[in-house]
Structures are given as C-alpha cells and as structure tokens.
C-alpha cells in the first residue's frame, strides 16, 4: 500500500490561495495516477487525514485575507468538491472497465472501437453483455440482459431472448447471432433515450 505524506505544520490561516491551489493540484495528480489514493479510498488508514487536509486546503484556496469563514458555507463547498472528485474517480474507473471489456472483445475477434472519456454505465454494460454472448456465457448473461430488456420495456425482444435460451435444440452459433441482434436493438433504444434526455 503506497504511503503518501501530508506536509507537517501547515499554517492554513496564512496560506495564500495560490499556494493552496498548488497543494490541491498535487493531490489531484496523485489521485489520478493511483485509484487507491487515500483521499478517495475510505478503507485506507490515511483517508481521514487526507480528507481533513484537502478540506483545509479548499478553505485556504477561497479565503480572502482578513475575511472570516462561514462554517456552513465551508462544509457545503468542501462536500461539493469531494463529490466532484469522487465523480471524476468513478468515471475514470468506468472508462477503465469499458476498456477492459473492449480488450476482451478484440481478443474474441471483434473490431476495436474507441472508448470515450464520457462513456456511460449502459454502454459499459452493453460491451459486457456482448462479450458474455460471444463467450457463450448465458448463465451470467441471462439475468443481466433480461433485467435490461424489462427496464427498456422491450417485451418482444425479451420473449425472443427467453425462447432462444430455453430452446436446447438451437445451434449455439445461431443463438449467439440472434442475441447479437437483440443486443443491437437494446443499444439503439438506450442511445435514443439518452439523446432525448440530453435535448
């Protein structure tokens, strides 16, 4: 487990906003390079110390000389910044997970598609289901795909999928091809709904 040092005897009261900004950015660089950095890892023994350290830095970053802090405003600002940092970390992990699924699909003979930095959860799950289908892993695929088809209210596709899984006489390659079409319909529905939500 990596050890990160917090500077000792930091005088936050007299720290300039630019000094605080530099210190914050240093932690953010470390967080970007290490997904288990104590600032975001609640299980890390240094987590509490880094949360306190960053809280004090954020206060110093926005402080004007001689101006007292409003504790409630401080707490709200720090909580908002922490949530923003957590959201960045969650997105970084989602991109990494999507990249891993794409690597697995390429190994299975699929063409590589670029994973965008703003990849969404439904896109990652679509990649995972496509990989499970290609592997013939219906035990793991079935509950995932059934739940997603129900959520999207694609009853025709859901019924077809169940019939394909239960039909023991169907050729496995043919089953995978049919499911690929169902996955494509599901992906397009998710994409259209996402675009409508963003209009």
Would you list the DSSP string of 47-86? HHHHHHHHHHHHHHHHPPTTPPP-HHHHHHHHHHHHHHHH
Distance between CA atoms of 68 and 60, rounded to whole angstroms? 11
Q: What is the pLDDT of residue 55?
A: 85
HSE on the CB side for 194, CA within 13 Å?
Answer: 12
Residue with tokens 């709904």, as numbered in its chain? 193
17: confidence class by pLDDT, cuts 50, 70, 90: confident
Q: What is the pTM of this model?
A: 0.64
Kindly give the residue spans of alpha helices, DSSP state H, lying in 63-169: 71-107, 121-135, 138-151, 155-166
- Residue among 195, 172, 174 nearest 123 (CA): 195
Residue 187 CA to residue 148 CA, distance in Å, equals 10
pLDDT of residue 67: 58
pLDDT at residue 33, rounded to an integer: 83
Residue 147's CB is within 10 A of a number of other CB atoms, namely: 12
Report pLDDT for 127: 96
Between residues 35 and 159, which one has the greater pLDDT? 159
pLDDT digits 0-9 by tens, 94-139: 999 999 999 999 999 999 999 999 999 999 999 999 999 999 998 9
- Cα end-to-end distance, the chain, whole Å: 45
């Amino acid at each position: 487990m990596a050890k990160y040092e917090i500077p000792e005897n930091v005088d936050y009261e007299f720290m300039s906003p630019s000094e605080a900004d530099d210190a914050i950015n240093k932690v953010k660089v470390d967080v970007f390079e290490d997904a288990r950095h104590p600032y975001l890892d609640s299980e890390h023994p240094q987590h509490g110390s880094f949360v306190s350290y960053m809280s004090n830095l954020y206060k110093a970053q926005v402080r004007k000389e001689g101006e007292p802090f409003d504790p409630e405003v401080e707490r709200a600002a720090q909580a908002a910044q922490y949530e923003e940092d957590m959201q960045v970390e969650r997105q970084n992990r989602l991109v990494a997970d999507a990249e891993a699924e794409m690597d697995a699909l390429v190994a299975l003979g699929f063409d590589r598609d670029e994973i965008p930095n703003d990849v969404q959860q439904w896109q990652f799950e679509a990649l995972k289901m496509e990989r499970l289908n290609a592997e013939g892993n219906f035990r793991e695929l079935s509950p995932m795909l059934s739940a997603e088809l129900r959520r999207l209210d694609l009853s025709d596709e859901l019924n077809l999928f169940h019939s394909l899984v239960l039909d023991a006489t169907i050729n496995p390659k043919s089953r995978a091809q049919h499911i690929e079409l169902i996955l494509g319909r599901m992906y397009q529905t998710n994409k259209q709904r996402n675009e409508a939500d963003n209009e």
